[in-house]
């Protein structure tokens, strides 16, 4: 094989250096754009909003809003229904009664993830259908130790006015029928968005 001559070596080195420098410039540019990312994305000032509503999870009757879509062989004998996955399209209302004003829907699933205790993994989007946030949704993903009177769920994102949202929901059991599993949960959501 022919070895490279001196000029060729210098040329190769120059080309390498050029690409190295070009990469550095590119990184610098991306860093700069991150400084003004809020403006660049057309987002306003960061603000905190608080939402309050009641969540109705109905498993019993002719028109359930939550249904079991999967379970394991052992789910039937498990005291915590370990392995069951429910899909829900639950109404969100202004007041505790189902007949009060509808303000949104919680759509998604929750799964029984605890073997020793009733513990759900929630993965749901909360779409608001009334008021200022109509058409915007929040994504809630996290652990729900459902039999505790009060628990906290993480808000990990959102859409519309809740784009890039983060926050938490405090969920408090308003009413629970332990036979049917029907529940009315009061939510206080604190959300940081733009
Ligand atoms: C609880 O659910 C069971 C089964 O659906 C029903 O028979 C009972 O009336 C309910 N209890 C209350 C207080 O609503």
Residue 15 — very low, low, confident or very high, per pLDDT cuts 50/70/90?
confident
- Residues 105-145: tens digit of each pLDDT: 999 999 999 999 999 999 999 999 999 999 999 999 999 99
Q: Same domain, yes or no, for 147 and 189?
A: yes
pLDDT at res. 76: 95
Q: How many domains does the chain have?
A: 2
**Which phi and psi angles does 150 have, rounded to 5°?**
-135, 135
Handedness of CA 10, 11, 16, 17 (dihedral sign): positive
Average pLDDT for the chain: 92
Which residues are CB-contacts of 182 (< 8 A; sequence separation ≥ 6)? 57, 58, 59, 60, 176
In a domain, 42, yes or no: no
- Residues 41-94: tens digit of each pLDDT: 888 889 999 999 999 999 999 999 999 999 999 999 999 999 999 999 999 999
Range of the domain at 33: 1-37
Q: Ligand 1 pocket test: which of 62, 177, 182 has the largest number of ligand atoms within 8 Å of its C-beta?
A: 177
pLDDT at res. 168: 98
Q: Same domain, yes or no, for 10 and 93?
A: no
Cα separation of 191 and 52, whole Å? Answer: 11
The pTM of the full predicted model, rounded to 2 decimals, is 0.83
Residue 67's H or E segment, with its range, is strand 66-70
Cα distances (Å, whole numbers) of residue 74 to 83, 85, 116, 118: 8, 13, 14, 15
Write out residues with Cβ below 6 Å of ligand 1. Answer: 60, 177, 179-180
Q: Ligand 1 pocket test: which of 56, 60, 184 has the largest number of ligand atoms within 8 Å of its C-beta?
A: 60
The helix/strand/coil state of 149 is coil
- Higher-pLDDT residue of 96, 42: 96
């Amino acid at each position: 094989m022919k070895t490279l001559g001196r000029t060729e070596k210098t040329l190769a080195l120059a080309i390498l250096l050029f690409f190295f420098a070009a990469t550095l410039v590119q990184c610098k540019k991306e860093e700069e754009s991150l400084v003004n990312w809020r403006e660049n994305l057309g987002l306003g000032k960061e603000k905190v909003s608080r939402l309050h509503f009641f969540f109705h999870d109905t498993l019993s009757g002719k028109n359930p809003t939550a249904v079991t879509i999967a379970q394991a062989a052992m789910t039937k004998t498990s005291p915590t229904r370990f392995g069951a996955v429910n899909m829900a399209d639950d109404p969100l209302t202004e007041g505790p009664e189902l007949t009060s004003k509808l303000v949104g829907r919680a759509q998604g699933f929750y799964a029984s993830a605890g073997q020793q205790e009733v513990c759900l993994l929630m993965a749901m989007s909360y779409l608001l259908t009334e008021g200022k946030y109509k058409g915007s949704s929040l994504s809630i993903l996290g652990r729900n130790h459902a039999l505790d009177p009060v628990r906290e769920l993480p808000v990990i994102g959102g859409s519309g006015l809740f784009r890039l949202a983060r926050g938490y929901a405090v969920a408090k059991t308003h009413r629970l029928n332990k036979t049917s599993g029907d529940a009315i949960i009061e939510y206080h959501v604190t959300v940081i968005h733009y």
